[in-house]
Amino acid sequence: MNKNRRIIWLSANLFGYELLKEALKEKIANIIAIATLSEKAKTKMYDGVERNRWHKFDIPVYEIENINKEVELLRSLRPDIIIMCGWRQIIDKEILSLPKGGIIGFHPTLLPKGRGPVPIINTILEGYKESGVTMFYLTEAVDGGDIIGQARFSVDKNDYAQDIYDKVIEGGKQLIKKFLPLLVRGKAPRIPQDDKKATYLPKITLKDNEIKPGKETLEEIDKKIRAFSMPYNGAYIRLKNKKLIIWRAELEDEKIS
């Protein structure tokens, strides 16, 4: 096993933090650096991790604003692989071409189904009954690279965003445990995606978490409350110049006596 393959861990959120702990637990990967967002970065993470927690791994940490402006840094670190999990910046072609072993990403749907933005929110809004996490090679095509592996989970009709997030973390850990040893050896699978089976998630704006009584069914409102709950900003009703944020709700059938 080639433990000398140099790996950079690129992450700024809880998902990537938990997966890094799993990767280090395996004791097979030569993680030579962690790259995370600096306090000056314009990119914000709903599920961000305090920067000082990354420094506790006894691995060099680089706090950056934009990965695409760090070509020289990455070249100096000479990575064979970059593992990206929990990063909201699209990677430029020049960065993609730097590590010989590729840049490995994670997407919380079963690709090619569910390509695109805010997959956890959309998993609830779109009414998925099953989803998962896909580990794959990044390419210029968004969420379109060859698949390394997938971890599946069921989506309960009463799941909130945090419930889905917890399942995503657990699925990601399973993938790290199974496929990181193969990545280190240069023997990880490469399964091309079938673009004909691809589906795409809709974009979500800051106004989409507003509840509109009378214009949405109770079922739609229930989905919206669950989808935008923690770690997101919460669904809300606007009352004049104030917002009433609803974090949890329960949909019940009215009993007729």
37 plus 142 within the same structural domain: yes
List of E strands, the chain: 6-10, 30-37, 61-64, 81-84, 103-107, 130-137, 147-154, 235-239, 242-246
148 plus 225 within the same structural domain: no
Pairing relationship of beta strands 130-137 and 235-239 according to DSSP bridges: unpaired
Provide the domain count of the chain: 2
Question: How far apart, in whole angstroms, are the C-alpha atoms of residue 57 and residue 236?
Answer: 39
Query: What's the domain range around 52?
Result: 6-197
Q: Would residue 225 count as lying in a domain?
A: yes
pLDDT in tens, the chain (257 residues): 456 799 999 999 999 999 999 999 978 899 999 999 999 999 989 899 998 999 999 999 999 999 999 999 999 999 999 999 999 999 999 999 999 999 999 999 999 999 999 999 999 999 999 999 999 999 999 999 999 999 999 999 999 999 999 999 999 999 999 999 999 999 999 999 999 999 999 999 878 999 998 899 999 999 999 999 999 999 999 988 899 999 999 888 766 55
- The CATH number of residue 141's host domain is 3.40.50.170
With vertex at residue 9, the alpha carbon angle to CA 8 and CA 12, rounded to the nearest 5 degrees, is: 140
140 plus 172 within the same structural domain: yes
- The CATH number of residue 238's host domain is 3.10.25
205 phi-psi bin (left φ>0, alpha ψ -120 to 50, beta other): beta
With vertex at residue 121, the alpha carbon angle to CA 172 and CA 109, rounded to the nearest 5 degrees, is: 40
Q: Would residue 48 count as lying in a domain?
A: yes
Q: Model's pTM, two decimal places? A: 0.93
185 plus 216 within the same structural domain: no
* Structure confidence at residue 2 (pLDDT): 57
Q: Would residue 1 count as lying in a domain?
A: no
Instruction: Tell me which DSSP letter residue 111 carries.
Output: T
Residue 163's SS3 state is helix
Nearest to 128 by CA among 106, 160, 147, 156: 156
Nearest to 101 by CA among 150, 149, 59, 138: 138
Nearest to 75 by CA among 43, 33, 136, 17: 33
33 plus 128 within the same structural domain: yes
Pairing relationship of beta strands 147-154 and 130-137 according to DSSP bridges: antiparallel
* Structure confidence at residue 255 (pLDDT): 64
253 plus 158 within the same structural domain: no
Q: Would residue 159 count as lying in a domain?
A: yes
Given 197, 226, 242, which residue is the final one in a domain?
A: 197
